């Protein structure tokens, strides 16, 4: 049987809809299989500036009425009284200067609709249950039938469909292990005004973990707790919010949605590309979300993969095993930069000192802000050079 489709994509989150959009825009035949019906809730609401140029390419307009403008990130240690705000505008020259806080039900639907408008077929409410890759084609089996295609992109997020089928999931230890989160709504008008002025994400450092507070439009505040040790449950969320004077004040009089829990989300996929397949977004790697890198790396990674795939489809050589090697190299730079930053943030005084220093080295501070903005593919960042050096030392010690 000949392939009936060119590309099948598993999952229509930010990575899947970015890939579908760009393939369809290039005139390629693409079908996305998404197990949920949109709009649907998803965790992860804080974007980074680095993906701003991609929205234009996707034909997606991010509207200040739908989403909250985000100027930067704030780190707070209420135990010591340390507090610092990084404005993206203070990064290295060329780093985009703002981002957005998004309610994912709306954001993901917007991206999916943009892909459909460009000609991608999206099948909602259909689940991929198996996939087989051969030299000539891929067969993707769903709960409704089979699709034979020339190429498969796994953008299934934490479900990591191919990695779980092929047992190539490698958990990353010492990173965020579990989270409990929900939305407060009905914040007082004064609090809404205060949070909306800069729209920054607040990260609170706590024992063995951290909390996020992300302002969303409509008077909502997303609050989550992440721990890398110890028990995670709803009572922990309530305790941590009650223990924080700032969060107590911001949420006074507000109501809260039911809480949700997630665990074991930090992992690498050891087989994220090969003949006729590539995994993008969380399906290829997911790091602790402390620096809000997930969505941006998912979308920029999907863009890079598709830019390699389109010419290969035209030439008919998309079956080459090494087609996605440049994609893997490109993404390694980003994942390693964030992984080093996260490890040092958690396990060394160096980051703590730099973050909260009274008079930080100005060029290191600018470099740090550019990384916090996701602007990691440049070779003039002194802070990134220090992180890369520490990564190499760690690897050679392990090896």
Ligand X SMILES: Cc1cc2nc3c(=O)[nH]c(=O)nc-3n(C[C@H](O)[C@H](O)[C@H](O)COP(=O)(O)OP(=O)(O)OC[C@H]3O[C@@H](n4cnc5c(N)ncnc54)[C@H](O)[C@@H]3O)c2cc1C
CA distance 296 to 14: 9
Transcribe 174-237 into DSSP letters: TS--EEEEEEEE---HHHHHHHHHH--EEEEEETTEEEEEEEETTTEEEEEEEESSS---HHHH
Give the tokens for residue 39.
Answer: 């709009």
Residue among 3, 11, 49, 199 that touches ligand X (CB under 6 A): 11
Applying CB under 6 A, does 276 fall inside the site for ligand X?
no
Applying CB under 6 A, does 153 fall inside the site for ligand X?
no
Residue among 19, 161, 203, 310 that touches ligand X (CB under 6 A): 161
Applying CB under 6 A, does 13 fall inside the site for ligand X?
yes
Q: Give residue 116's Cα distance to chain centre.
A: 22
Instruction: Report the residue number, 245 or 258, with the smaller CB distance to ligand X.
Output: 258
Q: How far is the CB of 315 from ligand X (least distance, A)?
A: 27
Q: How far is the CB of 162 from ligand X (least distance, A)?
A: 10
Please list the residues that pair with 209 across neighbouring strands: 206, 227
Q: How far is the CB of 295 from ligand X (least distance, A)?
A: 3
Applying CB under 6 A, does 15 fall inside the site for ligand X?
yes
Applying CB under 6 A, does 34 fall inside the site for ligand X?
yes
Applying CB under 6 A, does 103 fall inside the site for ligand X?
no
Q: How deeply is 292 buried, as exposed, middle or buried, from its count of CB atoms within 10 A (0-12, 13-18, 19+)?
A: buried
For residue 153, the 8-state DSSP code is E
Q: How far is the CB of 397 from ligand X (least distance, A)?
A: 29
Residue among 4, 26, 39, 43 that touches ligand X (CB under 6 A): 43
Applying CB under 6 A, does 295 fall inside the site for ligand X?
yes
Transcribe 232-257 into DSSP letters: --HHHHHHHHHH-HHHHHHHTT-EEP
Closest Cα partner for 282 from 176, 363, 163?
163
Q: How far is the CB of 261 from ligand X (least distance, A)?
A: 9
Residue among 172, 179, 241, 305 that touches ligand X (CB under 6 A): 179
Residue among 49, 72, 96, 157 that touches ligand X (CB under 6 A): 157
Applying CB under 6 A, does 96 fall inside the site for ligand X?
no
> In this structure, are residues 3 and 150 in contact, taking their beta carbons and an 8 Å threshold?
yes
Residue among 269, 281, 344, 345 that touches ligand X (CB under 6 A): 281
> In this structure, are residues 188 and 252 in contact, taking their beta carbons and an 8 Å threshold?
yes
> In this structure, are residues 307 and 153 in contact, taking their beta carbons and an 8 Å threshold?
no
Instruction: Report the residue number, 244 or 293, with the smaller CB distance to ligand X.
Output: 293
Instruction: Report the residue number, 212 or 355, with the smaller CB distance to ligand X.
Output: 212
Region of 12-20, 52-60, 114-122, 312-320 interacting with ligand X (CB under 6 A)? 12-20
Q: How many CB atoms lie within 10 A of CB 245?
A: 9
> In this structure, are residues 99 and 110 in contact, taking their beta carbons and an 8 Å threshold?
no
Residues 112-141 that bind ligand X (CB under 6 A): 127-128
Residue among 20, 110, 162, 298 that touches ligand X (CB under 6 A): 298
> In this structure, are residues 126 and 34 in contact, taking their beta carbons and an 8 Å threshold?
yes
Region of 79-87, 285-293, 325-333, 336-344 interacting with ligand X (CB under 6 A)? 285-293
> In this structure, are residues 177 and 229 in contact, taking their beta carbons and an 8 Å threshold?
yes
Q: How deeply is 190 buried, as exposed, middle or buried, from its count of CB atoms within 10 A (0-12, 13-18, 19+)?
A: exposed
Region of 154-162, 250-258, 345-353, 358-366 interacting with ligand X (CB under 6 A)? 154-162
Applying CB under 6 A, does 147 fall inside the site for ligand X?
no
Q: Whats the size of the chain, residue-wise?
A: 399
Please list the residues that pair with 278 across neighbouring strands: 153, 273
Q: How far is the CB of 254 from ligand X (least distance, A)?
A: 20
Instruction: Report the residue number, 105 or 252, with the smaller CB distance to ligand X.
Output: 105
Applying CB under 6 A, does 289 fall inside the site for ligand X?
yes
Residues 205-264 that bind ligand X (CB under 6 A): 224, 262
Applying CB under 6 A, does 337 fall inside the site for ligand X?
no
CA distance 57 to 39: 23
Under the rule (CB under 6 A), what is the footprint of ligand X?
Answer: 10-16, 33-36, 42-46, 127-128, 155-159, 161, 179, 224, 262, 265, 281-283, 286, 289, 292, 294-296, 298
């Amino acid at each position: 049987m000949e392939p009936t489709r060119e590309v099948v994509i598993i999952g229509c989150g930010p990575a899947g809809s970015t890939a579908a959009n760009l393939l369809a825009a290039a005139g390629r035949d693409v079908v996305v299989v998404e197990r949920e019906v949109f709009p649907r809730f998803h965790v992860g609401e804080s974007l980074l500036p680095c993906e701003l140029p991609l929205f234009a390419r996707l034909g997606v307009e991010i509207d200040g009425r739908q989403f909250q403008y985000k100027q930067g990130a704030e780190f707070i240690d209420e135990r010591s009284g340390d507090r610092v705000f990084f404005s993206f505008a203070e990064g290295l020259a060329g780093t985009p200067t703002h981002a957005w806080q998004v309610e994912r039900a709306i954001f993901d639907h917007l991206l999916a609709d943009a892909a459909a408008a460009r000609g991608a077929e999206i099948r909602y409410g259909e689940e991929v249950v198996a996939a087989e890759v051969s030299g000539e084609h891929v067969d993707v089996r769903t709960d409704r039938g089979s699709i034979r295609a020339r190429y498969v992109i796994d953008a299934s997020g934490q479900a990591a469909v191919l990695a779980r089928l092929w047992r190539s999931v490698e958990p990353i230890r010492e990173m965020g292990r579990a989270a409990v989160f929900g939305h407060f709504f009905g914040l007082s008008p004064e609090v809404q005004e205060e949070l909306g002025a800069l729209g920054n994400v607040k990260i609170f450092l706590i024992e063995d973990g951290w909390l996020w507070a992300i302002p969303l439009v409509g008077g909502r505040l997303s609050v989550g707790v992440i721990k890398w040790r110890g028990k995670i449950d709803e009572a922990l969320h309530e305790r941590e919010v009650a223990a924080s004077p700032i969060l107590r004040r911001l949420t006074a009089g507000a109501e809260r949605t039911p809480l949700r829990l997630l665990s074991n989300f930090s992992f690498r996929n050891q087989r994220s590309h090969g003949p006729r397949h590539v995994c993008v977004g969380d399906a290829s790697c997911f790091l602790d979300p402390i620096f809000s890198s997930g969505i941006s790396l998912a979308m920029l990674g999907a863009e890079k993969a598709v830019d390699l795939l389109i010419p290969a489809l035209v030439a008919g050589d998309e079956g080459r095993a090494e087609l996605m090697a440049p994609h893997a190299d490109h993404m390694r730079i980003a994942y390693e930069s964030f992984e080093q930053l996260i490890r040092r943030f958690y396990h060394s005084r160096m980051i703590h000192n730099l973050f909260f220093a009274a008079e930080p080295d100005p060029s290191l501070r600018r470099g740090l802000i550019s990384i916090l903005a996701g602007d990691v593919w440049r070779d003039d960042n002194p802070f990134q050079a220090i992180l890369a050096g520490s990564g190499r030392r760690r690897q050679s010690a392990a090896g």
